[in-house]
Structure 1
Amino acid sequence: MAVDIVTREFREFFNEEPTLVTSAPGRLDFLNTHQDYKGLPVVAVGINLRTYIAISKSQGEFMVASGNLRDDNVNYFDKFSLSGLKLIGGKWFGDYVRALVMAFMRHSYAVNPFRAWIRSYVPIASGLGSSGTLLVALASAISAVNGFNLDRKAVAEIAYEAEHDVMGIPCGRLDQYAAAFGDIVVIETKPPYNVEVLPRLSGAFLVVDTGIRHSTADIHPKRQQEIDEGLSKLLSMDIPGNLRKKLGIHYWEVHWNEIKEDDMSRFIRELDDTPRRRILYTLRANESTKLALKVIKGEAVDIKDLIKTLNLSNTEVDSLVSSYDWRETLIGKVMTYQHKLLSEYYDVSLPEIDKLVNFLVSEGAYGAKLSGAGLGGSVIALVRDEDKAKELLGKVLDRGLAPRGWVVSIDSGVTIHGQ
């Protein structure tokens, strides 16, 4: 078991027993990708690829080591004290730990020095939320060993603050909240940041790691700037007051959830191509997510909405709703539709990723899309069952479309395994 492994590794490295072990799941960026930093709801799935933290109190200094980095024969140990605490920079892994301690201190928590060992089964930069699961697992460990007793939401918030505010990474709250709560969840990314656990879908999830690595820090600022350019142009137009009040100078100020594309289309078409596509992505991905949520929750869906939102023909809709697995089929359609938007309207896909998505759908997946910031990382697919997922993964690997993948199951959120 992973808990036994991280406990043994901690013992061997620090020559003592850990006080406790925590873990948090990686996540599938299921629906409404690239929308959390705009304040729109996002849908995530916690999966059984997890990050584990073994921890105990220490004397004088904070010490943290990464089993994964040790495996890679690179510097895997960091040591620091509260006096003059600062970030190192240069993508140093210890900065995540330092930033988290600094975030706790911002809220006047007296964090005692600790020893921590990290063992993660969430691939780095693969679009599965590796940094979010690390921060959430570690925040939970720090809370537990110090007796802070933070709940899931508080753990998610302090993990977000560490990454966004302290480290300056322009992320939204998707990764941290998904890691904290697990399961299939809708995360409201505007205050008070409510989380709703959804009914589980039938079928299985397949995760295919493209092997193409990326940095989220390079992607988000550019897209945010492009949206702001479009907003600036829109605000310079003669837009009716009832629409103008829903807009803002910056992407995070806009009331996106209240804007209909039909109401804005004549103004949006006047924008330059890039900001036009970025704004259309935002509106269309959000509308299709609303549709998917109705389906997952078992609410009534208007056939006209299906046709309009997903650009389906009457024949396609008739075939879809008459199938025994129409629910999963429809969710798959939304996934693939959103991938097309990410590729053509948000420019965060690549030809090899598009090829992989098309292959998975052509071979029987309900739907597929990239997971995470894009330009690499992983593709996720919703498949009929585990056997079909294994079959698809075998075909992907045999054809050299990707180097590795996993058939994953939905898993619980952050967990304390022993005290």
Structure 2
Amino acid sequence: MFGTACAGVWSAPGRVNLIGEHTDYNGGSVLPLALPRRTWAAAAPRADGLLRLHSADAPGEPAELAVARLVPGSVRGWAAYPAGVAWALRRAGYGPGGADVHVETDVPLGAGLSSSAALELAVALALTGLAGQEADRRELALLARDAEHAFPGVPCGIMDQTAAACCITGHVLHLRTRDLALRQVPFDPVAHGLRLLVVDTRAVHALRDGAYAARRAGCEAGARALGLRLLADLAPSQLDGALGELEPSLRPLVRHVVTEEVRVGRVVSRLEAGDPRSVGELLTAGHASLRDDFAVSCAELDLAVSAACRAGALGARMTGGGFGGSAVVLTEEAAAAGVAREVEAAFATGGRRPPRVFAVTPGDGARRDL
């Protein structure tokens, strides 16, 4: 692309969150897994301090930026994500120099599968790799989150970047977001005769439109009203009493966060007991909470979940920030094709765009590929 030899290729995955939605910025626990679908960053160093960025998915001239002059608000569009990473790395003392970076992805964009975190971590590894530097994966995740806050302006939690950085094959990542404590929990649906399906509803979500930020602000207001630093500090046994102290608009937000934290713990326990089939009901309960209490679902997500469950899936839920994007479905292997057909038929009957339905297995986090 740039007429120079590539010095290396780095990649990072999209993610699907098995359960634990809108808990990450509340200090709660999440349970994501890395998708087999990835974003690749091919890079070469430059001596002039320029960062040139090109994407196969954004045709046109490369963005050309001076690394030393990067400040929040100075870059628009897709290039704000990698530019923000370069800015955050430099502030943290990693001092990325100039680079030519070309990116390609097979993570569906706008599908709630964290294409942004995949891009951020692939570029973070590329820039530190070109400089001959290594950083702790959790530190890179934090820097990528800071970059997303400052440059594109998305007030995301830490789950997506940590999943892209730290997931491993055959496991879900149990991440306690209050202190970034993590452990790998075995999850191999194929070995148990199961399939994990992702339904990309193709209802594109946009977390910068204010709705996501409004939910986060509501959670923070609920915590302040209860005298808590984080909503996840509220014990389930305290929930009923706490709800009575809150104004009505905050009650459902707090109820979702506390009950979702309980569901995450139950899923972890069942997976560790070797009983992945039984987690399906918890996925469906989580969707109901996201739909009714947190109000971040949409017609397409509700249709995907209801159609999957009607076809015999063990459980299903929306995944990601909401307002569009994808659902995740746990089903017996023998029923997987029928579940996919039922979902597709429901969308056709409803006059909606055909969804993309595909099976996933837990994959690797960020890495150098070449």
The answer to whether the superposition gives a TM-score over 0.5 is yes
Distance of aligned partners of 1:89 and 1:331 in 2 relative to their CA distance in 1, 3 Å threshold: farther
Asked if residue 268 in structure 1 is aligned to residue 243 in structure 2, the reply is yes
Deviation per CA, 1:141-167, whole angstroms, max 9, x where unpaired?
111111112232232222122113455
1:289 — aligned with what? 264
The one of 92, 96, 103 aligned to 1:118: 103
Could you tell me how far 1:82 is from its partner in structure 2? 2.8
Aligned partner of 1:345 in structure 2 is: 293
Compared with structure 1, are the counterparts of its residues 76 and 359 closer, same or farther at alpha carbon in structure 2 (3 Å cutoff)? farther
Q: Determine whether 1:66 maps to 2:55.
A: yes
Q: Does 1:403 align with 2:355?
A: yes
Tell me, in whole angstroms, the C-alpha distance in 1 between the residues paired with 2:45 and 2:223: 50
- Distance, in Å, in 2 between the alignment partners of 1:155 and 1:199 is 24
| Larger Rg over CA atoms | 1
What CA RMSD, in Å, does the superposition of the two structures yield over aligned residues? 2.1
Number of the residue aligned with 2:134: 149
1:296 & 1:21 partners in 2: Cα distance?
34
Identity %, equivalent residues = 24
Q: Offset at 1:255?
A: 5.6
Q: Which protein is richer in strand relative to its size? A: 2
Equivalences for residues 10-159 of structure 1 within 5 A: 13-60=1-48, 61-70=50-59, 75=60, 77-87=62-72, 91-159=76-144
Contact 1:26 1:46 in 2 (8 A): yes
Amino acid at match of 2:11: S
Residue 161 of structure 2 corresponds to 176
Q: Which of 195, 200, 206 is the equivalent residue of 1:204? A: 195
**Separation in structure 1 between the aligned mates of residue 18 and residue 339 of structure 2, nearest angstrom:** 19
Match of 1:254 in 2: 230
Structure 1: segments with no counterpart, 5+ residues = 1-12, 236-246, 300-326
Deviation of the 1:346 alpha carbon: 0.3
Instruction: Give the TM-score taking structure 2 as reference length.
Output: 0.90
Structure 1 contact 329–367 (Cα < 8 Å) conserved: no
Cα distance change of structure 1 residues 297 and 76 upon mapping to structure 2, 3 Å threshold: farther
Decide whether the 8 Å contact of 2:222 with 2:231 is kept in 1: no
Distance in 1 of aligned mates of 2:18 and 2:314: 13
Measured in 2, the distance between the counterparts of 1:409 and 1:264 equals 35
TM-score, normalising length: structure 1: 0.80
| Matched-pair contact (CA < 8 Å) for 1:103–1:166 | no
- Separation in 1 of the partners of 2:63 and 2:332? 45
Indicate conservation of the 8 Å contact 1:67/1:76, yes or no.
no
> Does the Cα contact within 8 Å between 2:81 and 2:151 map onto a contact in 1?
no
Question: 1-side partners of 2:112 and 2:188: how far apart?
Answer: 21
Find the aligned partners of 1:223 and 1:206 in 2 and give their Cα distance.
27
**Alignment partner, residue 321 of structure 1:** none
Structure 1 residue 47, shift from structure 2 partner: 0.9
Residue 225 of structure 1 corresponds to: 217
Task: Give the deviation of 1:62 after TM superposition.
Answer: 1.4
The 3 A distance-change label for structure 1 pair 258 and 403 is: closer
The gaps in structure 2 that reach 5 residues or longer are none
In structure 2, distance between residues paired with 1:175 and 1:263: 29
- C-alpha deviation, 1:175, in angstroms: 0.5
Three-state SS of the structure 1 residue aligned to 2:54 is: strand
